[in-house]
Amino acid sequence: MQPYTLKREKRRSILIQVTEAGVEVRAPLRSTLAQIEALLTQKQAWILRRRAQLAAVFSEIPLVTYDPGGLVPVMGRSLALRLDKAGRVAVRIEGEEMVVVGPKLGPDRVRAHLKAWYIVQAEAIFEDRVALYLPQIGRPYRDIQIKTLKRRWGSCTLKGELTFNWTLMMAPLWVLDYVVIHELCHLKVMNHSVSFWREVGKISPEYKKAVQWLKHYGPALKLP
Ligand SMILES: [Zn+2]
C-alpha cells in the first residue's frame, strides 16, 4: 500500500486525495483503520494512475522553487528565475528570464513578489480579454475581481460580478480565454445546461480542449 497521511474530521465518508505531495486520507472521526486501509487497497490502481499522471504534469510544468534558475510559468512560457538583490523591489520579464529585484530575497519574499506581480498582470489581462469577447455576448457586466480561488478558475454572479483566479496567468492564453468566455456566457445562461455549452461553443469552438487542459494541468497552476 502507498504511504498516506490521515486526517480525522467531521465528515460522512472516507475521502482519498492524491496530490503531488502524496496520498491524503480524510476520514470520519469514527472510521476504523481497517476500513480506511480496505478502501486504499480497493483504490490502489486509481491511486497509482493518478500519481503517475501528476508526476507527468509536474515534469512539464514544474512547481516554482524560488531558487535562481527555477522555472516560472507565465502564459504558457517557462521563464528562468533571476534574483537581483541590488535595487528597489520590482518584478519584470527580460527575454526568457523572470527577474525579481529587491532586498533579502528569501523564498517567502520571492513568492510574495511573484504573486503580487501575477495579480497586477491578471488585472490588466482579464480586463482586456473580457473587453475582447464581450461584444459577442451582448450583455453588460458589473466588475472584474482577481482573487485566489481554491477550487475554481472563475465565477460570475447574477449581478454580473466576474471573478477570476490569478493562477490562470500560469496557463497558456487560449486556456485563460476559455475561462473568460465561460464566465461571460454565464451573463446569458446562469447554469451549465446544454444551451450554456452551446453559447460557449459559439465563441470558443475548441473549448473542450481547454476544459481538458485545465483538468490535466490545473494542479500545477500554483505557487507552492
Ligand atoms: Zn460555470
Q: How confident is the model at residue 141, as a pLDDT?
A: 96
Centroid of ligand 1 to alpha carbon of 217 (angstroms): 19
Centroid of ligand 1 to alpha carbon of 14 (angstroms): 28
* Entry pTM: 0.86
Centroid of ligand 1 to alpha carbon of 159 (angstroms): 15
Label the pairing between strands 15-19 and 161-165: unpaired
Listed residue (72, 65, 64, 123) closest to 99, CA to CA: 72
Centroid of ligand 1 to alpha carbon of 196 (angstroms): 9
Which domains does the chain possess?
4-60 (no CATH), 106-220 (3.30.2010.10)
Q: How confident is the model at residue 150, as a pLDDT?
A: 87
Q: How confident is the model at residue 212, as a pLDDT?
A: 96
Instruction: Quickly list DSSP for the chain.
Output: ---EEEEEES-SS-EEEEETTEEEEEEETT--HHHHHHHHHHTHHHHHHHHHHHHHHHHHSPPP--STT-EEEETTEEEEEEEE-SSSSEEEEETTEEEEE-SS--HHHHHHHHHHHHHHHHHHHHHHHHHHHHHHH-----EEEEE--SS-SEEE-TT-EEEEEGGGGGS-HHHHHHHHHHHHHTTT-SS-SHHHHHHHHHH-TTHHHHHHHHHHHGGG-S--
Centroid of ligand 1 to alpha carbon of 168 (angstroms): 15
**Residue-by-residue pLDDT tens, the chain, 224 positions:** 778 999 999 999 999 999 888 999 999 999 999 999 999 999 999 999 999 999 988 888 888 999 999 999 999 999 999 999 988 999 999 999 999 999 999 999 999 999 999 999 999 999 999 999 999 999 999 999 999 998 899 999 999 999 999 999 999 999 999 999 999 999 999 999 999 999 999 999 999 999 999 999 999 999 99
| Residues 6+ positions from 184 with CB-CB distance below 8 Å | 130, 133, 134, 137, 141, 156, 162, 203
Bridge partners of 37, per DSSP, are none
Q: How confident is the model at residue 151, as a pLDDT?
A: 87
Q: How confident is the model at residue 39, as a pLDDT?
A: 96
Strand ranges of the sheet holding 22-28, from the earlier edge strand across to the other edge: 4-9, 22-28, 15-19
Q: How confident is the model at residue 26, as a pLDDT?
A: 96
Listed residue (104, 116, 220, 122) closest to 180, CA to CA: 122
* Residues 203, 133 contacting (CB under 8 angstroms): yes
| Residue 182, number of CB atoms within 10 A of its CB | 23
Q: How confident is the model at residue 169, as a pLDDT?
A: 97
